[in-house]
Amino acid sequence: MDMTLSGLNPAHFQGHVDGKDTALYVLVNKNGCELAVTNYGARIVSLMVPDKEGKMTDVVTGHNNIQEYLSSEEPYFGATCGRYANRIAKGKFTIDGVLYDQLPINNGPNTLHGGVKGFNFHVWDAHQIDSQTIEFSRISPDGEEGFPGNLRVKVVFKLTDDNAVDITYHAETDKATIINLTNHSYFNLSGAGDPYIGDHLLCIDADYYLPTDDTAIPYGEKSVVEGTPMDFRKLYEVGSRINEPFIQLVYGKGYDHTYVLNKKHPGEFAFCAECISPKTGIVMDVYTTEPGVQLYTGNWMTGNFVGKNGQRYPMRAAICLETQHFPDSPNHENYPSVILRPHEKFESHTQFKFSTRK
């Protein structure tokens, strides 16, 4: 098996987890960009895009082999998170008067990213459609991690010829449930292994964000970004205000907040955010149908372990832009609904599009 452009050995991703085979799948577009994904967690492992000099650069953090993913202290690297991405307060919610209060508590007093064994820890069924497209699917059984309903879920990754990673999510249930899916790639547009994303320029199309308590659960009401270090309505350096004594930044050790995207129509596929590395000139534009995006600046990364190609990932060595519904939505009637009912189809679409700027 040939090594990937990003330096991965596909043989090192051949494993056996929970009785299912794991593998690495490689997508390539006409420009020579390369997206490597694995069915363990339906996750992105590497993403090679050209910098301003035309040099191919890996812009996501990750591991060298399946064993490292199984034992990682960063279990969400590149993963599809569900059944409910982000947090649910105290592991409980109600649908139609029925209380579900058995969700695992795995993040302070709350449930994070689907619980102790969320979608990121499962081996998905893989079907490579063509050289640029792959579909991952699984059935999340009724009661898995405390969530109701048998949920059929499908995630399709496409590496387009205009250098975009296009992700579509589909799900159906046989019982009323809640759903919130995202991709949790940790990006560094200067190249994975660069120690700090503070110099990246970031713009988010949001006039409001959701302030949280010290356990990262939103209070409920949105707040204006204007006049605060939460304001990214025009390009700002990510690190320029990250250490200010603003209580929201103190709680999260940096940015770990949902931005309420400016949408003309709910569910429209529209611009979400732009991020730029001044070192490589790589530009990432994010588009989504989702109402929000979680900005996370890798505040809890430690650099304790060696990742791909011998690289370490210290604190704030990556930035996440997780398109999604809002945290703890089932417990906030004023948030867009995350309830999925039988005979309904859940669909979501996000795109990370790459270009360069001198």
> Which of the four pLDDT bands, split at 50, 70 and 90, describes residue 75?
very high
Number of domains observed in the structure of the chain: 1
- Residue 314, CA atoms < 13 Å, CB-side half-sphere: 5
Assess whether 322 carries a catalytic annotation.
Answer: yes
Whether residue 2 lies inside any domain: the answer is: no
Q: What is the pLDDT of residue 111?
A: 98
Q: What is the pLDDT of residue 220?
A: 94
* Segment 286-329, tens digit of pLDDT: 999 999 999 999 999 999 999 999 999 999 999 999 999 999 99
| Segment 220-224 mean pLDDT | 97
Whether residue 44 lies inside any domain: the answer is: yes
* Segment 235-284, tens digit of pLDDT: 999 999 999 999 999 999 999 999 999 999 999 999 999 999 999 999 99
| Segment 55-81 mean pLDDT | 97
Whether residue 4 lies inside any domain: the answer is: no
User: Which residue out of 63, 113, 122, 184 is catalytically annotated?
Assistant: 184
Instruction: Mark the binding-site residues for beta-D-galactose, compressed into ranges.
Output: 86-87, 184-186, 256
CA distance 166 to 159: 6
> Which of the four pLDDT bands, split at 50, 70 and 90, describes residue 221?
very high
Per DSSP, what are the bridge partners of residue 208? 224, 260
What is the average pLDDT value for the chain, to the nearest integer? 98
The CATH number of the domain holding residue 281 is 2.70.98.10
Can you give the residue range of the structural domain that contains 263?
10-356
Q: Which helix (H) or strand (E) holds 270?
A: strand 270-276
Whether residue 70 lies inside any domain: the answer is: yes
* Structure tokens belonging to residue 247: 């209580």
Helices (H) and strands (E) in the chain, counts: 2, 28
Whether residue 103 lies inside any domain: the answer is: yes
Whether residue 127 lies inside any domain: the answer is: yes
* Segment 130-176, tens digit of pLDDT: 999 999 999 999 999 999 999 999 999 999 999 999 999 999 999 99
Whether residue 3 lies inside any domain: the answer is: no
How would DSSP label each residue in 244-268? Answer: S--HHHHHHTS-EEEEE---SSTT-
Assess whether 349 carries a catalytic annotation.
Answer: no
User: Which residue out of 122, 200, 322, 325 is catalytically annotated?
Assistant: 322
Whether residue 5 lies inside any domain: the answer is: no
Dihedral sign for Cα atoms in the order 358, 322, 327, 256: negative
Q: What percent of the chain has pLDDT over 90?
A: 99
Instruction: Mark the binding-site residues, compressed into ranges.
Output: 86-87, 184-186, 256
Q: What is the pLDDT of residue 358?
A: 85
